[in-house]
Every structure is written in structure tokens, then in C-alpha cells.
Amino acid sequence: MKSTLLNMVLSLGIITIVAAGLLSWIYTITEQPIAEANLQAQIQAVSDVTPAFDNDPVAEQVAVTPEGEAQAVTVFPAMKDGALVGAAVESYTNNGFSGFIKVIYGFDTEGNVTGFAVMEHAETPGLGAKMDDWFRSPEGNRNVIGLNATGADLTVAKDGGKVDAITAATITSRAFLDALNRAARAYNQYKAQN
């Protein structure tokens, strides 16, 4: 085949169409398994962070927009014998060092944090990515599990709060606590409405 502009454009066009078709086909094949895996991860996280329940919190989820916010968070109410025993709240922040972070926090009826599961982030490995372990650690004032987030903004010590920031990752720590405070406000709002 002679090397002409028309032949090069034609070759590149065919390669592009074939590549686009393959990518589309692969997306179609993987879309459902990825969605199912994400749902199973969400169900497991809700189960892990909330007090014992006998309902289906994922099926009974409610979108709540915390006061002063534009975007809703998802509240998964945990019921035992028809009474609210707590909830899991899927919260978010856009203030991470690398942007968006999504965390599911668990609360009991008094507003104490019963657990959390980091669901999505793009923080720096070895620094901000340590948030899942750091905020469970019994060393210093790191552990947020058991803290009461009702009516009190949990902030890092550098900002006058009581929670130790991740070493060399204060921005990620602020973001994690921002998402926690947003979740607590949404949970309190949910309890007030129900």
C-alpha cells in the first residue's frame, strides 16, 4: 500500500473504529459485574459499620440533603424489632488532596460513631491512603470510633480540634472529618424527620 495521506487517514480511521468497538463491547460485558460488586461492597460496609439490625437498610435507604449542602448523602436506617438502632450514612467530600472521597460511617442512636468504611478515594499511597487504618488506631487521638459527632464538629488538632491528623496528610485528614461531619448532620436531620 502506497504511503499517501488518504491511505494514512483511512488506516487510522479503521483502527479507531475497531478500538472504539472493542472498548464498547468490553464495557457492556463488565458493566453488570462491576455494578453488582459495588452493591455487594456497599451492603457489606453497611453491615460492618452499624449496630446489629434485622431489616434491609440498603432497600430502605433515604437520600438526605444536609442543611447548607447542595448534594444529598444516603442514609441506611438500621432497625431492630421495628425500632431505630442506628444508621449507616454514605457521605462524601471533594476536599481530599486528590479530590473526591466517599466513606460510609455508622452511628448509634446517640450519634456515636460505630464504624466506617472508606469506599472510594484517590489519595496518595502511604500518606492519605492510610486514613482507613489511621482513624481506627488507638494511638494518640486518632480513633474516631466511639466519638460522638452530634452537635460537635470533629476537626484536626491543627485547626483546634481533638483528632490527630495523618502525618504529612493534613488535607486528607480534614477531608475525612469533613465527610464525617456531613454524615452526622444528615443522620441528625434524618432522625428529626422520622
Q: Sketch the domain layout of the chain as residue ranges.
A: 48-193
Q: What is the pLDDT of residue 194?
A: 83
Cell output for 1: 500500500
Whether residue 125 is predicted with pLDDT greater than 90 in this model: the reply is yes
- Distance CA(167)–CA(128), nearest Å, equals 9
CB 85 within 8 A of CB 51: yes
- 189 pLDDT band, cuts 50/70/90, is very high
Whether residue 15 is predicted with pLDDT greater than 90 in this model: the reply is yes
3-state percent helix, strand, coil for the chain, nearest multiple of 5: 40, 25, 35
- Distance CA(57)–CA(117), nearest Å, equals 16
- 116 pLDDT band, cuts 50/70/90, is very high
Residue bearing cell 468504611: 117
Q: What is the pLDDT of residue 151?
A: 64
Rounded to a whole number, what is the distance in angstroms from the first to the last CA of the chain? 73
Q: What is the pLDDT of residue 3?
A: 84
What value does the mean pLDDT take over residues 177-192?
Answer: 94
Mean pLDDT of the chain: 93
For the whole model, what pTM was predicted? 0.85
Q: What is the pLDDT of residue 82?
A: 92
Q: What is the pLDDT of residue 13?
A: 96
> pLDDT digits over 149-181, tens only?
876 668 999 998 889 999 999 999 999 999 999
Q: What is the pLDDT of residue 85?
A: 96
Instruction: Identify the sign of the CA torsion 97, 102, 106, 109.
Output: positive
> pLDDT digits over 23-82, tens only?
999 999 999 999 999 999 999 999 999 999 999 999 999 999 998 889 999 999 999 999
CB 41 within 8 A of CB 33: no
Residues in the chain: 194
Q: What is the pLDDT of residue 99?
A: 93
Q: List Cα–Cα distances, 54 to 8, 50, 57, 163, 165, in angstroms.
A: 64, 11, 9, 33, 36
